[in-house]
Structure 1
């Protein structure tokens, strides 16, 4: 039997937010609301505001608007987007062999591996912001240069500022520099004279530079107080250049990220060289890391890649293709297939329903898990707030389930499967 290619899940960092894609996913997948509701409890705890009200209001925000707000807004938005996308993939049956975070994304990767709860991961992000803000450190900035790491390090030596450093090595022709504003302006001016193109990085702080050294022990102490659990999935750190180990003190290691560089290109090469790591899915906003993978490995490798919270030229969510290709809905025996076909596709033959289930079964299973969790949570709240119980003669249609949400989900599934506009499937149509 041919060994399957490993799936590497990539969790992006600074700038990885697509407001339009997140809004589209919010309308389609209930997991988005669930994850951000949990993050809201932390944003209220730390900052007395609900992040959801910023992200899911009448106007869809993009990164520029988030950066104009308080620093925590963009950081928690990036973190939450990744965790919500991961939950949707997991509910759809998708699995990853290795999780990899890029800078801020490493926190999301550790939460996805269940080292921390979603709420504690949000607390880590909140502490990260607060600790840096309270240190009163020198202002700085980050920028990407179109040159390899060795050339950029030579340029940094020329500037002669010990706080200026390589922050990220993304691939052979892109290196991110971080440091004090004055030193950065000199570095960018020299780069332009040398014909090296530059681009600012959307980040509220200059990460991965000695500027942040005073914040390291403070942050480590705060994260060390949180409940750390065993990893359920291997996590490879481009900062450490290795997998996390069971006895690692995650608070101390995450604190080192403040001053150590992200060697993303080296991480991708290492994982690809370990085995059949030819499939990469980017879990979060935009589709930046998957493009970097192609540049790192070169055209000969031809890795398969998927995005999630990004919109294609046709306006479709990357999640749709990722779930279809990576999701694994429960296998159905002949009896279960006939039963489900009678409910969801009474006019479809056995072969057509099997194809339908392969494409959308993961979404249906995920929706069922979500609604069951909400139903149980409602019952657990106690008398007066509990979801309605089934009558003695049998369950009532729609008990504990929002009829509109289920109707919308079924309407979308039929529209996609039969290639008709959603408007055709009104409530009184015979499905």
Structure 2
């Protein structure tokens, strides 16, 4: 058996697929996770969203339900990959697998690795949403651009729209811009006028913005009250470019999706240089693994 590492990519914003866990609801780890999700005060609606029949005419879920469901979906796909709970992990697989969370997916990666409980991860996620509202964060938006980060930066400079930042450097042909919703919508119109392929994500929550620094400070203080344990499998820190090493670093990681951009392209390059043999995705669609393939012809496998 090869000893070269495999990276399990844990997606975040925009990865939710309603009904994605319906085919897997009878599998023991997924059944357990769904029961724990439904036991949370706002979790029953999220569990129903993940397991119910998909109604294309139904209105989109509210942000709390959507983000909680997306978090649970990612942990469930990690469970099916054998990283959660611990009893499902073969020793040799645990050594070879590295988790890399993308944006909000970092919280799911922490839960999947056993760094915090599924419930504590959900509570921190909900605290991020609650504190945005309490501290008056504006409605946000995220725009996926078919542009490299450097070109996206030039577009931002030309647009001169307030509050916009580069949220994700995802690959040689994809970047994400975030900021206040009106400014993001205006940038989308400008990009389309320039014949730039772009997609406005459905979220109306502000992410990856310096405006969220007060929220990040409050969430970081809350994280001090949560037990953080040594990971069962390594979790890659996208900012430092190496695995997380301590509970303090994991606590800092809880707020990455609030204020820091995601250097995903750099992460992939560093992991490949470290000998990664395969990228797989903890989700129902090949979103992140497709981006790794764009960087170089590497082995990728969705789901």
How far 1:161 sits from its partner (Å)?
4.0
Task: Decide whether the 8 Å contact of 2:234 with 2:243 is kept in 1.
Answer: yes
Cα displacement (A) at 1:92: 7.1
Tell whether 2:79 aligns with 1:87. Answer: yes
CA gap of 1:210–1:145, structure 2 versus 1, over 3 A, is same
Q: Structure 2 matches for 1:24-423, cutoff 5 A?
A: 24-27=23-26, 29-42=27-40, 44=41, 47=42, 49-57=44-52, 59-60=53-54, 68-90=60-82, 91=88, 93=90, 94-95=93-94, 96-161=96-161, 163-246=163-246, 248-275=248-275, 277-297=276-296, 301=297, 303-308=298-303
Instruction: Flag the structure with higher helix content.
Output: 1
TM-superposed deviation, 1:240 = 4.2
Shift of 1:304: 2.1
The alpha-carbon deviation at position 224 of structure 1 amounts to: 2.0
Equivalenced residue count is: 295
Between the two structures, name the one with larger relative contact order (CA 8 Å, sep ≥ 6).
2
Q: 1:92 to 1:253 in 2, by over 3 A?
A: closer
Structure 1 segments (4+ residues) deviating >6 Å: none
Secondary structure in structure 2 of the residue aligned to 1:257: helix
Change (3 A) 1:33 1:289: same
Structure 1 residues without counterparts, runs of 5 or longer: 309-431
Report how far residue 20 of structure 1 moved. 4.1
Task: Provide, for residues 258-310 of structure 1, a one-character-per-residue CA deviation record: whole Å limited to 9, x for no partner.
Answer: 111011111011100112x121111123221111110122xxx3x222222xx
Secondary structure of 2:255's match? Answer: helix
The structure having more radius of gyration, on CA atoms, is 1
Distance 1:97 1:56, change over 3 A: closer
1:254 is displaced (CA, Å) by 2.0
* 1:4 correspondence with 2:3: yes
TM-score, reference length from structure 1? 0.63
Q: Distance in 1 between matches of 2:131 and 2:210?
A: 15
Higher strand share: 2
Gaps of at least 5 residues in structure 2 are: 83-87
Question: Structure 1 residues 19, 48: CA separation in 2 closer, same or farther (over 3 Å shift)?
Answer: closer
CA RMSD across the alignment: 2.4
Whether the 8 Å CA contact 1:239–1:257 is kept in 2: the answer is no
What do the CA deviations read for 1:58-114 (whole angstroms, capped 9, x no partner)? x3367x958x33312111111111212222322374544311001111111111221
